[in-house]
Amino acid sequence: MRISEVSRITGVSLPTIHYYVREGLLSPAVKTARNMAYYSPECVEDIRLIKQLQLKRFLPLSAIKMMMGARQRGEDTNHLIEMLTFLDDIFHPVGKGDSGGMTFQDLINATGMSAADLNDLDEMGLLMPAATSQGRMYDDVDLRIVQIVSELAEFGLKPSDLQVYRQYIDAVRNEAKTIHEKVHELHSSGSVPVARLSRVLTEMKSCLTHKIFRELFIEHHK
C-alpha cells in the first residue's frame, strides 16, 4: 500500500505515519524505487491499535512502543494481554485529573495550593513533573498527590511534615529498578505474567504496611 492510501484508510496524516515509523511503532515501508515505497496491509491494523491505545487506554507512546515491539516480534497472545493489563494499571488516569499534562499555574488553579507549597513538594520529590519546552508539566498523579496533601492539612500536617516520604520514593525507585531487571532476566527464558506479578508485589507491600503499623500500635500501647 502507498502511504497516501494508508493515510486515507486510517485517517492519520502522512507526518504522523512517518513519525510512528521513526519511533519504531510501525515497520518501515519497503522501497521499490527512489521515490516509491509500499507499506504492508497489516500496518493499517497497527495504526488503528496505536490510536486505540492512545485515546481509549491513555497509554503514552513509550508504552505503546513496547506493546507494538512485542507484537512485531510475534509474542503470543497471552503475553500481549498480560502486558496490556499491566500497562493499563500503570497509566490509567488517577482520579479526575488530566493525564495529558498541566502547567504549574494549572495545578495552582485546580487545587488552590500556594506556589510556595507546590515548590516545596517539588523540591521534596513528591511531585514529579516532566521537563518540557513549556516548562514543568504535571499529570493526573501529581494533581491527586496535591489533593491528598491538602486533605492531610486538615489533620494539621504541613507539606514540610512529609519529608519522610523522600525516603519512601527512593525505596520505591530502587524496588522498581530491581524488579524490572529481574523480569527482563526471567523473560529471556520464557514469558513472565507481568500483570499478575505487579498485583502480587502490590499486595506484599500492603501486607508489610499493615504489619509495621500493627507493630507500632502495639509498641505504643504496652
Judge whether 21 and 28 are in contact, CB under 8 Å.
yes
Backbone φ and ψ for 36, nearest 5 degrees, come out as -135, 125
Backbone φ and ψ for 143, nearest 5 degrees, come out as -60, -45
Judge whether 91 and 58 are in contact, CB under 8 Å.
yes
Beta bridge partners of 31: 37
Measured between alpha carbons, how far is 10 from 8 in angstroms, rounded to an integer? 6
Q: Which three cell numbers stand for residue 36?
A: 516509491
Q: What is the mean pLDDT of each run of 10 residues along the chain (222 residues)?
A: 93 94 91 87 93 86 87 80 82 67 91 92 91 87 94 91 91 89 71 80 92 89 74
Measured between alpha carbons, how far is 128 from 145 in angstroms, rounded to an integer? 10
Per-residue pLDDT at 61: 87
Is it true that 3-73 and 104-162 share their CATH fold? yes
Q: Which three cell numbers stand for residue 135?
A: 516548562
Per-residue pLDDT at 70: 84
Per-residue pLDDT at 188: 63
Measured between alpha carbons, how far is 47 from 37 in angstroms, rounded to an integer? 17
Domain ranges of the chain: 3-73, 104-162, 165-220
Measured between alpha carbons, how far is 172 from 128 in angstroms, rounded to an integer? 14
The correct answer on CATH 1.10.1660.10 for the domain covering 104-162 is yes
Alpha-carbon 52 to chain mean position = 16
Per-residue pLDDT at 100: 61
Hey, what CATH class is 3-73 in?
A: mainly alpha
Judge whether 127 and 163 are in contact, CB under 8 Å.
no
Q: Which three cell numbers stand for residue 13?
A: 496524516
Name residue, grid cell 485546580. 110
* Type of residue found at 150: S
- Burial of residue 25 (CB within 10 Å: 0-12, 13-18, 19+) is buried
Q: What is the pLDDT of residues 14-65, one digit of tens each?
A: 999 999 999 989 999 998 887 888 999 999 999 999 999 888 888 888 889 9
Global pTM reads 0.71
Per-residue pLDDT at 131: 86
